[in-house]
Homo-oligomer: A and B are copies of this chain.
Amino acid sequence: MSVVIVGSVAYDGIETPHGRVERMLGGACTYIALASSYFTKTHIVAVVGDDFESPDEKLLTDHGIDLEGLERVPGKTFYWAGVYSDDMNDRTTLRTDLNVFAGFNPKLPESYLRAPYLILGNIQPALQRSVRQQMNGLKLAGGDTMNYWIKDYRPELLETIRDWDFLLINDAEARMLSGEYNLKRAAAKIFQMGPHTLVIKRGEYGAILFHRDWHFIVPGYLLEEVFDPTGAGDCFAGGFIGYLAEKGFDLKNGHINAKELSRAVIYGSVMGSFCCEKFGVERFRTLTREEIDARFQEFRAFTEF
């Protein structure tokens, strides 16, 4: 079943200890969509400028991603540049040019309105909310946010996530949103805000899924070399929602299939790990579903006892 993804399509300039790229395809929506496309029909809602290049568009359409909701407007595409620390656990933003993204007002094509799965990338909470409200027949909706919205747009954000099934954020964001350092307590607080499912991304340490009274934890995949962690969290989100959509997972049917939710976290982790193996979206040029399923089995092998 199909997924709608809303967020940024951007150009990124990235420097890691392994090299530097001046300008390459990036953006949360791009990474989520590429990851999701391996599992299910994927539709995006985003905006780009007239500098958006056709090889980049082709990468998306080659993955079967529906671009009907990709708006093209005069001006330049969102540009972000950053540099990673030696251990790649920190990054410094060098430049953020919102460009056409500053006026982003997500418009959903008619054909998207009945899609059963929705994932909202990290954008203005009011915009996330307007998208959520336009959709009918959702089986599962949720998304991401960040420190900026949590701090300065709190009432708007709370209003927005009240209608979400899941929230997918990192540990620092979960702590900031809940005001609790301990992640179990943070989850309990966040459940009171609306979502019944909280996925906490922990970078190289993996992820935790909290669902009401149970939780599932997966450690991070050990890569021999991390080339570029940009987009890994978004690829996690894409693998997570993509797998649930592929399975036709329905949270509204009264009972939750815990094992399927846990497997979605594994597929999220798998997609995030592949993302780090090359710069930007490069790994997705060659990645196959067979490789994805093989790595899923690897997760089993190194966590089973």
Q: A: which residues have CB within 8 A of B? A: 86-87, 181-185, 202, 205-206, 208, 214-220, 222-226, 259, 262-263, 265-266, 299-305
Contact = CB atoms under 8 A, between A and B. Distances in A.
Contact of A205 (B205, B224, B304): B205
A93 B87 CA distance: 26
Nearest to A181: B87
Given A205-B206, A216-B305, 8 more contacts: A86-B181, A87-B181, A184-B224, A214-B302, A216-B303, A217-B303, A259-B305, A303-B303
B266 A305 contact: yes
A181 B220 CA distance: 16
Q: Taking the full assembly, how many copies of this chain does it contain?
A: 2
> Which applies to chain A's interface (DSSP): helix, strand, loop or mixed?
mixed
Nearest to A17: B181
Given A263-B305, A305-B266, A217 B224 contact: no
Contacts of A184: 222-224
8 contacts: A182-B225, A182-B226, A184-B222, A185-B224, A205-B219, A208-B222, A214-B301, A262-B305
Nearest to A260: B305
B222 A219 contact: no
A205, A208, A299, A305 interface centre (most CB from chain B within 10 Å): A305
A215 to B, nearest CB: 6
A259, A265, A304 interface centre (most CB from chain B within 10 Å): A304
A101 to B, nearest CB: 35
A303 B202 contact: no
